[in-house]
Amino acid sequence: MSRYARPNSLSYSFGPGPITPAVKWIIWANIAAFVATVIRHDLLNILGVVPADVIQRGWIWQPVTYMFMHAGPAHILFNMLGVWMFGVELERLWGTRFFVRYYAVTGIGAAITTILVALLPFAITRATYNTVTVGASGALFGILLAFAMYYPDRPILMALIFPIPAKYFVIIIGALSYFSSPGGVAHAAHLGGLIFGYLFLRGGRGGLTAEFKYRYLKWKMNRLRRKFDVYSGGRSDWDRKVH
């Protein structure tokens, strides 16, 4: 439930209001996939992310399909609750096309992070090489990050009783999603969703491509500055004092 302040009154509404098209499609797709896994549990191993299968077998669909797989009722409940509560507001702000792009980038980015972590030469990370990762948690953490960045002080009623700023409410919801994730969900996916979400938003409407171009150009300019001894001031301290 959100609380909005007006000049002479307070109005209350449960949830973010009417559901938006992309959020509705995401929720229904996840529910359908969950029902399918209840009927055929082996789908989790086929459609979830297993780094070994992606790398050795070439099952490149897994970084996409794993987002719609969930290992239990609590897992899908908290994930879809978060997508609904915070995704609707962002879709209204950005538009459906940009929201879908953001959701896909953070979800797939979370899977890529999980695969890269599994390739690290450490026993604790190599253990995830043959482990199944499922769930929309990576994309959800991207949504939580975006909501906290755009609406940090939005008052939200916690447990329908007392209001707290959205930035703290998001942390609590994120923690619930994190701890409700079963052992098959690699925690690297949550970190990946945050990282890719941040990079995507930093790139603006250009997305990750614009951010990477900016980073590359900045690195190139720094190299040229060092090569030709060019510094940010452009003049000595004595020159800067002369107006």
Residue 6's pLDDT is 41
Specify the pLDDT at position 231: 47
Bridge-partner residues for 155, per DSSP?
165
Residue 214 falls within a domain, yes or no?
no
Least confident of 40-44, 146-150, 238-242: 238-242
Is position 220 within any domain? no
Is residue 217 assigned to a domain? no
Q: Is residue 213 part of a domain?
A: no
Q: Tell me, yes or no, whether 226 lies in a domain.
A: no
Q: Does residue 66 have a pLDDT over 90?
A: yes
Report the pLDDT value the prediction gives residue 80, as an integer from 0 to 100: 94
Instruction: Please give the backbone phi and psi of residue 10, each rounded to the nearest 5 degrees, phi first.
Output: -120, 135
Instruction: Tell me the CATH number at 39.
Output: 1.20.1540.10
Task: Give the up-direction half-sphere exposure of residue 229: CA atoms within 13 A in the CB hemisphere.
Answer: 2
Number of domains in the chain: 1
CA distance linking residue 109 with residue 123, whole number of Å: 23
Kindly list the strands in the beta sheet with 10-13, ordered across the sheet, starting from the edge strand earlier in the chain.
10-13, 2-5, 155-158, 162-165
Q: Give the percent of the chain with pLDDT over 70.
A: 71
Enclosing domain of residue 178: 2-202
**Residue 164 located in a structural domain:** yes
Q: How confident is the model over 183-231, as pLDDT tens digits?
A: 444 577 888 888 899 999 987 655 455 545 555 566 656 666 666 654 4
Q: State residue 8's pLDDT score.
A: 43
* The predicted structure's pLDDT at residue 185: 47
Residue 237 lies in a domain: no
Residue 169 is predicted with a pLDDT of 80
* Residue 241 located in a structural domain: no
